[in-house]
């Protein structure tokens, strides 16, 4: 199911990232991937009153060149509004209305997108009256909040849930015979070329469905009995008027493609290295529970000896420490070298992401590993592990029951995830691990 996408937009420094972190709330219990690649996270899934949605902080995305800053702000806000299902428009209650706020408000009104106008930095009741001036921005009723102190965060979420579009029904029953594959990556890495190459392969039965969704251009092909829907995030941009903010646009669009995908492949140009935006998209994919792998394209451009590929992977692993579990494929779309390998890999990682290990087996293997190397006692409290079970697949989700779940440290969590991977692979699958005590009080 595709979650509705909520974008937080507004001028720089109004508090978008602060609000994002506030709404995402308590640290995510996901240990794998280890956070830390991006301090300014772009994407998180969260929930209020049983409605789940994906929150995107466009503050973490801003990449402006100084001379064009003004234009960039407007163009990025425009992109975010177009891509969002609902918008939180944030303004600064301390500064008052700024001309960029007016520009954004006009775009928002024109777009007809459901939106909330939140006036930030209303830190106490003394500032409450400061919000009324913002009524001038249009028909939206201003809501005073303090992202920093959490004031009115609950009201904001309530209003947000009320304007979210109705839940989309699950698209189709999960068949292993069909795989939605999102091909993401920075501009010019070869996404469109790859899709065209795959569609041109003789082995493929192609039924192109160009433009069937508003989101991106999908192509459907059949390969060795599996129906692949290729979600090409580059496809539409040529028709689009967006030029300066291309990277911003590509990233936001990728987040959306990730939502619709079963498998995400991050395409990288071999003559470059993995970039911050690539990492953010990979992180979004992992957090959304999608199978993931990296593809190094344009391998023909690289002068190679027998250690070149190994060295490239080594460097990639250092840049993307949290994604050691995602496999790497080298291809050249230009020469056609191994392009089809991408489809094989997509099938492999999806199977891993859907794999289930019976509890009895886990308790003979991973539980024993934990008993051999128990977590250290904390504050004199001895931690006793009871059992481990896989509660879900897609993504593989494990729960360890023990007497003091809150005392388990990060390094021990990593140890357990590593043991699971060493024993069962789960290559390309973003494993989730939770700790619970059996007592209903917890």
Among 33, 56, 85, 121, binds ligand GDP (CB under 6 A): 121
218: enclosing H helix or E strand: strand 217-223
Q: Please give the structure tokens belonging to residue 381.
A: 């409290």
Give the residue from 297, 247, 244 showing the smallest Cα distance to 275. Answer: 247
Minimal distance in Å, beta carbon 193 to ligand GDP?
Answer: 3
Q: Decide if residue 191 touches ligand GDP (CB under 6 A).
A: yes
Residues numbered 273 to 302 that lie near ligand GDP (CB under 6 A) are 297-298, 300-301
Closer residue to ligand GDP (CB): 4 or 10: 10
Sheet holding 226-232, edge to edge: 205-209, 217-223, 226-232, 178-184, 263-269, 291-297, 328-330
Give the residue from 233, 268, 262, 263 showing the smallest Cα distance to 248. Answer: 233
Please say whether the beta carbons of 414 and 370 come within 8 A. no
Please say whether the beta carbons of 40 and 151 come within 8 A. no
Closer residue to ligand GDP (CB): 93 or 289: 93
What residues contact 112, with CB distance under 8 A and at least 6 apart? none
Among 111, 193, 244, 389, binds ligand GDP (CB under 6 A): 193
Strands (E), 49-137: 51-57, 86-92, 115-120
Q: Decide if residue 59 touches ligand GDP (CB under 6 A).
A: yes
Q: Decide if residue 190 touches ligand GDP (CB under 6 A).
A: yes
Please say whether the beta carbons of 17 and 90 come within 8 A. no
Q: Tell me, residue by residue from 144 to 183, as one string, x for binding to ligand GDP by CB under 6 A and - for no binding.
A: --xxx-----------------------------------
Q: Decide if residue 69 touches ligand GDP (CB under 6 A).
A: no
Residues numbered 12 to 51 that lie near ligand GDP (CB under 6 A) are 12-18
Minimal distance in Å, beta carbon 13 to ligand GDP?
Answer: 4
Give the residue from 416, 376, 423 showing the smallest Cα distance to 400. Answer: 416
Give the residue from 240, 237, 220 showing the smallest Cα distance to 186. Answer: 237
Q: Measured between alpha carbons, how far is 257 from 307 in angstroms, rounded to an integer?
A: 34
Q: Tell me, residue by residue from 127 to 146, as one string, x for binding to ligand GDP by CB under 6 A and - for no binding.
A: -------------------x
Closer residue to ligand GDP (CB): 75 or 353: 75
Q: Decide if residue 251 touches ligand GDP (CB under 6 A).
A: no
Q: Is it true that the peptide bond before 296 is cis, omega within 30 degrees of 0?
A: no
Give the total of residues touching ligand GDP (CB under 6 A). Answer: 31
Closer residue to ligand GDP (CB): 148 or 399: 148
Q: Tell me, residue by residue from 376 to 415, as one string, x for binding to ligand GDP by CB under 6 A and - for no binding.
A: ----------------------------------------
Q: List interacting residues with ligand GDP (CB under 6 A).
A: 10, 12-18, 59, 120-121, 123, 146-148, 185, 187-193, 234, 297-298, 300-301, 332-334
């Amino acid at each position: 199911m595709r979650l509705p996408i909520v974008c937080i937009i507004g001028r720089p420094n109004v508090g978008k990232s602060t609000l994002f972190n506030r709404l995402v709330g308590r640290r995510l219990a996901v240990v794998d991937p280890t956070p830390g690649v991006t301090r300014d996270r772009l994407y998180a899934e969260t929930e209020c009153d049983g409605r789940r949605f994906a929150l995107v902080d466009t503050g973490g995305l801003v990449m402006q060149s100084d001379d064009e800053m003004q234009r960039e702000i407007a163009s990025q806000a425009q992109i975010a509004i177009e891509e969002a299902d609902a918008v939180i428009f944030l303004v600064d209650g301390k500064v008052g209305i700024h001309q960029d706020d007016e520009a954004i408000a006009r775009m928002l009104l024109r777009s007809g997108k459901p939106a909330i106008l939140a006036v930030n930095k209303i830190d106490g009741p003394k500032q409450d009256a400061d919000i009324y001036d913002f009524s001038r921005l249009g028909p939206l009723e201003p809501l005073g909040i303090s992202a920093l102190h959490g004031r009115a965060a609950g009201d904001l979420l309530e209003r947000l849930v009320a304007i979210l579009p109705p839940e989309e029904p699950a698209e189709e029953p999960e068949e292993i015979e069909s795989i939605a594959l999102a091909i993401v990556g920075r501009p010019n890495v070869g996404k469109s070329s790859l899709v065209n190459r795959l569609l041109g392969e003789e082995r493929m039965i192609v039924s192109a469905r160009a433009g069937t969704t508003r989101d991106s251009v999908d192509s459907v092909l059949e390969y060795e009995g599996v129906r692949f829907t290729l979600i090409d995030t580059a496809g539409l941009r040529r028709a689009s008027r967006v030029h300066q903010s291309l990277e911003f646009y590509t990233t936001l669009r990728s987040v959306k493609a990730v939502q619709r995908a079963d498998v995400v492949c991050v395409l990288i140009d071999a003559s470059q290295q993995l970039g911050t935006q690539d990492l953010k998209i990979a992180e979004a994919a992992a957090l959304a529970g999608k199978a993931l792998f990296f593809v190094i394209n344009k391998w023909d451009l690289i002068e190679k000896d027998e250690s070149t590929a190994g060295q490239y992977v080594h460097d990639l692993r250092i840049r993307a420490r949290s994604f050691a579990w995602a496999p790497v494929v080298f291809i050249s779309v230009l020469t056609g070298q191994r392009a089809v390998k991408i489809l094989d890999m997509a099938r492999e990682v999806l199977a891993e992401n859907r794999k289930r290990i019976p509890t009895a087996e886990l308790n003979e293997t991973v539980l024993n590993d934990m008993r051999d190397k128990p977590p250290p006692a904390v504050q004199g409290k001895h931690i006793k592990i009871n059992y481990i079970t896989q509660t879900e697949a897609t993504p593989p989700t494990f729960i360890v029951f023990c007497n003091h779940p809150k005392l388990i440290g990060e390094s021990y969590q990593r140890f357990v995830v590593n043991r699971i991977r060493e024993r069962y692979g789960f290559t390309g699958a973003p494993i989730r691990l939770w700790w619970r005590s059996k007592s209903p009080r917890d």
